[in-house]
Amino acid sequence: MEIYIDADACPVKEEVYRVARRYALTVHVVSNGGVRVPAEPGLRNVIVEGGLDRADDWIAEHIAAGDIAVTADIPLADRCVKRGARAIAPDGRVYTEATIGAALATRNLMTSLRETGTITGGGRPFAKQDRSRFLNALDAAVQASRRQGGAT
């Protein structure tokens, strides 16, 4: 089991590092190059070429069943779930085969409403409660993956 972070705008990297240290897991911190990664065993700084969805493509190509993706990108979460991985958003939302379809539909609807000017502005700001929900979700995902034989 390994963890993949869609890192360019991820607000919970430090939390992932803490959980990974506790369970001795490898973390792939995937970005276009603007992210600092501590020089520690188990933390891999993966820099991809600049360009739309390059980090997403790298994660989707390398993630495997039992691994965990940390991403706010719902299409990437969908790709990871289809490969048998677990996907968690930084606010603690967990994407599964049962929930990813509705999440994609909502995302597409909101994109359409923003494009037509019906809705302006972005989502709500990241809050302390989101960080706590994320930590709980990540720990639960690690435990579940270990129970299913995903431990390394």
What are the tens digits of pLDDT across the range 81-91? 999 999 999 99
pLDDT for 3-60, tens place per residue?
999 998 899 999 999 999 999 999 999 999 879 999 999 999 999 998 888 999 999 9
Q: Which domains does the chain have, with CATH numbers?
A: 2-147 (3.40.50)
Q: What percent of the chain has pLDDT over 90?
A: 67
95 pLDDT band, cuts 50/70/90, is very high
pTM reported for the whole predicted model: 0.85
Query: What pLDDT is attached to residue 152?
Result: 47
Q: Where are the alpha helices (DSSP H) in 4-127?
A: 13-23, 54-62, 74-82, 100-115
Cα distances (angstroms) measured from residue 32 to each of 22, 45, 68, 77, 113: 27, 10, 20, 18, 29
